[in-house]
Structure 1
Amino acid sequence: MKKKRLTKALLTIGVSLSVLAAGCSGSPSTQSGGESAKGSESNAGGEAKAQAGGTVTFALEHEVVSLDPAFSYDFSTGPVVNQITEPLMRFEKGKSVVPNLAEKVDNPDPKTYVYTIRQGVTFSDGTPMTVDDVIFSLERTRDPKTASYVGWMFSNVDKIEKAGDWTVKVTLKEPDANWQYAMATSAGHVISKAYYEAHKANFGKPDGGTMGTGPFKYVSWQTGSELVLEKNPNYWNKEGGPYLDKIVYKVIPEGMTRITGLKTGQINMALNLPLDLQEVVAKMDNVKISRSDSFLSDFIAFNTQRKPFNDVKVRQAISHALDRQKIVTELIKDAGIAGKTVPIPPALWTFEKDKWEKAYSEIPDYAFDTDKAKQLLSESSVPTGFNGKILTDSDSFRMNTALALQAAVKPLGINLEIEKVTGEELNTRAWGGARDYDIVVQNWSSDFPDPAGNMVPLFLSANTADGGSNFANYKNPEVDKLLDEQNRLTDPAKRTELMIQAEKLIANDAPWIVVSHQKNFLAMSKNVEGYDIDPLYFWEGFMKDVKLTQ
């Protein structure tokens, strides 16, 4: 966020698809970085040369939720919206935070951030961006009535003020270690206030679109089919791109169809393809791949507020019943690693690494042990088993995970029905405050290069509300206290100590089974250059740097 064997994949890979618009064409280029696919050598006459212009066709796994950045919070919506609207700050190669629409930020005390807004920036219609646009955008996303998916990032904000013609002052209720990252996400995106007010009824929808300062502008959107962006001629940042004339996003849920499009050249870019097909892509002569470690976790979450999943021994029993390593060995192979119970993979040990590594080795592993699973269930409120449902979508890795879980608990007397829904419905129900499911199979990636980027949104009880991302409906006052306290600190060592305490409590409570941590994967035609994937690609306006080669 993956799948079946490869036996028939190569037989169908050469079939062309009339449903896809023709993509860019050109000679293969030298790869700029990442892991190369077969045949990524330079042209015989020397290194390929980049050219301005052209169209790239980009495959999306799911339909875009909205063009409104307040609702840009998934792996299909982000790569579109981030090209149109931009944040005050931005992530540099998935690590540090650097200025963007704000030319600088001052932090005179732990609760105050003063953003100096960049002058001379215009929206794609040529109208100037002002401080009023910035404040309007932040306040709108912050407003609970908006029910923004990233509204939780403003929960510690006391007030947002205009401090000068080109300055915005954000005052926090208390110090917040993660606020430094928030303005580099879609929570910090700026839209045109005038455009929003003129299109309030349909803003973010196909007939309303959106208006931002990004390198590309919105043109059209045929839901379920394609979404088109064109180069923004008024883009403020004159360093480098945008180079492309147009980006055509194709909604293609079926993995094999995306692979076939790459083979025929009708698709030029595709993110996070099905695991079993990544090996096929790596052997294509006309395609190169870029991989990176990720902050991603594939997980199973129990609804801890619904019987019998409110019983910790039931959750622990199921955790022991599932052979996670078998899933990783058979499906993920070298494209990721097995998880544990808390989604803090090695890639997220971005500070105090030794402490995180030691703690990770000490937390309960819930290793595959059928006898232990049976013992725990016998000690639970449902010793002879029960019936329940697993909610997931048609993604084959998630479906295979659901099937593996269904089979694993059968010997315990637990009968789990699989409820398959669309990716859009899965997101809607997972984010909805009602949490209308027993068990959900989903994935999640930290918004920040910080362990708190997983722990706070996923396990703080306040995030069980509508729009919150506490998928397990998990509520532990002691965990809340530790997570709140670490968030008020800036000392990495002290924050780490508190988060590790919370991590151990969460692991003992077993609200999640973390199945795996997959690597990020980007497939590109060999004449597409300019970008290599990193852990936070979903917040980046990376198409600005993408170019074609001759």
Structure 2
Amino acid sequence: MINPKYGIFPSLLAASLIIGGCGSSSGTTAGTSGEAITLVSTTPVAAGEIDKVTWVLPNGEPTSLDPAKTGDYSANSVVTNMCESLLRLQPDFSTTAGLASAVEQKDAKTVVIKLRDGVTFWDGTAMTADDVVYSLNRNMDPKLASYSAHVFANVASIDKTGPLEVTVKFSVPDVQFIPDLAGVPGAIMEQAFTSKAGTGFGTPSKGVMCTGPFQFGSWQTGQKIELKRYDGYWDTAGKAKAATFDFVFVTDDSTITSALLAGEVDGIYGAPVSSLAALRRSTAGKLYFGPSTETVSLGPASAEGPAADARIRQALDLAIDKTTIVTSVLKGAGEPLKTFTPPLAWSGSPAKSIYDDGYAALPDTSKADLAAAKKLVAEAAPSRTALVIAAPAGNQALLQTATIAQAAAQQIGLTVTIKQLQPAEFAGLFYDPSLRAGIDFIATTGYLEVPGALYYAPGFVLKGAQFNWTGYEDPAVTASIIGAVSATDPAESATQYVAAQAIFGPAKLQITLAESYNRLFLGKRITGAPASFSYISTAWAAQVGAA
């Protein structure tokens, strides 16, 4: 999604990627210092249980453990191991049953959720349809301001229709709703506990009450969050292998690298790009690269000025050599991407071939074409050629991305100034239009946390949508996207989406530069964690055990 999940935002993958079980790969690419990179979606299954695992959160301490306030790497990494969702996300970004034994699209405006029997919260209380109705409805409470509120925008009602059945009615059909239930929008918590905790729910003093393989232990502010194995977990095959799982907050790349190499911590998602060579050589553990939905991009920030003109966006896109982003910024751990929605998003869809063909048909701008870029700038004849790119201070990868864009722009007659913003100020860009005044592009990263080609597009292409900052509007795109969202037949939905993408893709509503592969480092004591980016919405820590 794109909020400061766009400062910690979503997206990507390459068309040639083959996803499967342990050892599956897309072939090889050139990594740091030319080493071959093989993508895998899983790691070897754990041999047994382990007493304790210490895991690094490189993006810092979560602000809350309330699923409604979960919207970034750190919070997702912790919360999804405690508060399960109605569906489960698999390493290939397909979904299976979770707390719901089945989710059925009864008709265009009705979804019926059949709940699993025998599920208990950590206090031993049985999960009921009332808990599910309460949990889903929380996201629609404007006072709570849930990060997942957009998922429920087309929901008319959520009601208990049986002891273990919930029915969701829609004012407008929305086929993206079901896949969204595999992420935090579908997370379930105990109604009685949550209501009693009030605003303290998800805080260090109150914690949470959910059904997952790990239960809340303690939260030592500024130091760590401790999770304890829940021995009454309903899925005996998925019982946590670690008795205790500690998440520690370390944001300095050199400190993280030293701790990993010394065996002081056991693992990390998002291993520092600057340390990939050292981690690959290390005997302290193993570095894995997995399929991902993460992107690096430049987002146009205004409905006025040069960035609002598709020709200027296209020119800048053509001026930037995407392979330079991959080699210089990502150290080889990534690849160019044609648009903001990656193939991994639809890899589990029955209409996968339709999406794949549509993606393949998009123009390939991975190599710079300065002549074509200069021609577009001349045609646009912008009122000003001086542009501003905002980047978060201290984020070396995004600062380097902005610098590469700056150099490319200069070659086609545009002048770029890089404006560094402190993290809080940078995050505000995604919520407050006034803060975007004077800024043309935002250098950002992001990710999709659930499957579905429709996860991103409506927010960018529909008039008045939350991330349509350029005022983009095309009647054909609008009609096709609405058709895709409304079509309950997967093939029809995919066909409509591809028709829209053929138009909005070349318009570069985001200048998507590259996919960043998932980077997982496991110390030699442990194994079992998924290597793909699916960890962002799954109870991945339960799989981690003794090597």
TM-score (norm 1): 0.83
Matched, 1:153 2:151: yes
Written as runs of structure 1 = structure 2, the 5 A alignment for 1:385-534 is: 385-411=385-411, 412-422=413-423, 425-432=425-432, 436=436, 437-461=439-463, 463-464=465-466, 474-534=472-532
The aligned residue for residue 27 of structure 1 is none
The aligned residue for residue 280 of structure 2 is 282
Where 2:242 maps in the other structure, the secondary structure is coil
Matched, 1:541 2:535: no
Aligned-residue offset at 1:399: 1.7
The aligned residue for residue 83 of structure 2 is 85
Q: Distance in 2 between matches of 1:329 and 1:124?
A: 47
Written as runs of structure 1 = structure 2, the 5 A alignment for 1:312-331 is: 312-331=310-329
The aligned residue for residue 135 of structure 1 is 133
Q: Distance in 1 between matches of 2:308 and 2:256?
A: 41
Q: Which amino acid aligns with 1:506?
A: F
Q: Distance in 2 between matches of 1:140 and 1:278?
A: 41
Written as runs of structure 1 = structure 2, the 5 A alignment for 1:262-341 is: 262-332=260-330, 334-340=332-338
Q: Which of 80, 83, 96 in structure 2 is aligned with 1:98?
A: 96
Matched, 1:345 2:342: yes
Greater alpha carbon shift after TM alignment, 132-141 vs 69-78: 69-78
Q: Which amino acid aligns with 2:450?
A: F
The aligned residue for residue 207 of structure 2 is 209
Q: Distance in 2 between matches of 1:216 and 1:479?
A: 44
- In structure 2, relative to structure 1, the CA distance for the partners of 1:463 and 1:195 (3 Å cut) is farther
Contact 1:94 1:537 in 2 (8 A): no
Q: Distance in 1 between matches of 2:418 and 2:49?
A: 53
Q: Distance in 1 between matches of 2:192 and 2:457?
A: 37
Provide Cα deviations, 1:462-499, integer angstroms capped at 9, x if missing partner.
Answer: 541xxxx5576655454333212111113333223222
Q: Distance in 2 between matches of 1:114 and 1:356?
A: 27
Q: Which amino acid aligns with 2:449?
A: D
Q: Distance in 2 between matches of 1:381 and 1:452?
A: 34
Q: Distance in 2 between matches of 1:199 and 1:434?
A: 35
Contact 1:94 1:449 in 2 (8 A): no
Q: Which amino acid aligns with 1:390?
A: A
| Identity rate, percent | 26
Aligned-residue offset at 1:177: 2.3
Aligned-residue offset at 1:389: 3.7
Q: Which amino acid aligns with 2:535?
A: Y
Written as runs of structure 1 = structure 2, the 5 A alignment for 1:33-182 is: 49-182=47-180
Where 1:379 maps in the other structure, the secondary structure is helix
In structure 2, stretches of 5+ residues that fail to align are: 6-20, 26-34, 37-44
Q: Distance in 2 between matches of 1:473 and 1:276?
A: 37
Aligned-residue offset at 1:353: 5.0
- In structure 2, relative to structure 1, the CA distance for the partners of 1:383 and 1:173 (3 Å cut) is closer
- In structure 2, relative to structure 1, the CA distance for the partners of 1:174 and 1:83 (3 Å cut) is same
Q: Distance in 1 between matches of 2:331 and 2:357?
A: 25
Greater alpha carbon shift after TM alignment, 175-184 vs 232-241: 232-241
Provide Cα deviations, 1:379-436, integer angstroms capped at 9, x if missing partner.
Answer: 33535512424233533222210111122223524232322322x6544432556563
Contact 1:301 1:472 in 2 (8 A): no
Q: Distance in 1 between matches of 2:220 and 2:149?
A: 28
Equivalenced residue count is 505
Contact 1:60 1:249 in 2 (8 A): no
Contact 1:402 1:418 in 2 (8 A): no
Contact 2:93 2:346 in 1 (8 A): no
Contact 1:59 1:258 in 2 (8 A): no
Greater alpha carbon shift after TM alignment, 62-71 vs 382-391: 382-391
Aligned-residue offset at 1:137: 0.9
Q: Distance in 2 between matches of 1:541 and 1:212?
A: 12
Q: Distance in 2 between matches of 1:425 and 1:92?
A: 35
Q: Distance in 2 between matches of 1:147 and 1:48?
A: 39
Matched, 1:235 2:237: no
Contact 1:472 1:512 in 2 (8 A): no
Greater alpha carbon shift after TM alignment, 354-363 vs 392-401: 354-363
Where 1:199 maps in the other structure, the secondary structure is helix
Q: Which amino acid aligns with 1:386?
A: A
Aligned-residue offset at 1:101: 1.6
- In structure 2, relative to structure 1, the CA distance for the partners of 1:530 and 1:417 (3 Å cut) is closer
Q: Distance in 2 between matches of 1:434 and 1:130?
A: 44
Taking only aligned residues, the RMSD between alpha carbons, in angstroms, comes to 3.0
The aligned residue for residue 193 of structure 1 is 191
Where 2:168 maps in the other structure, the secondary structure is strand
Contact 1:34 1:290 in 2 (8 A): no
Q: Which amino acid aligns with 2:375?
A: Q
Q: Distance in 1 between matches of 2:429 and 2:203?
A: 20
Where 1:250 maps in the other structure, the secondary structure is strand
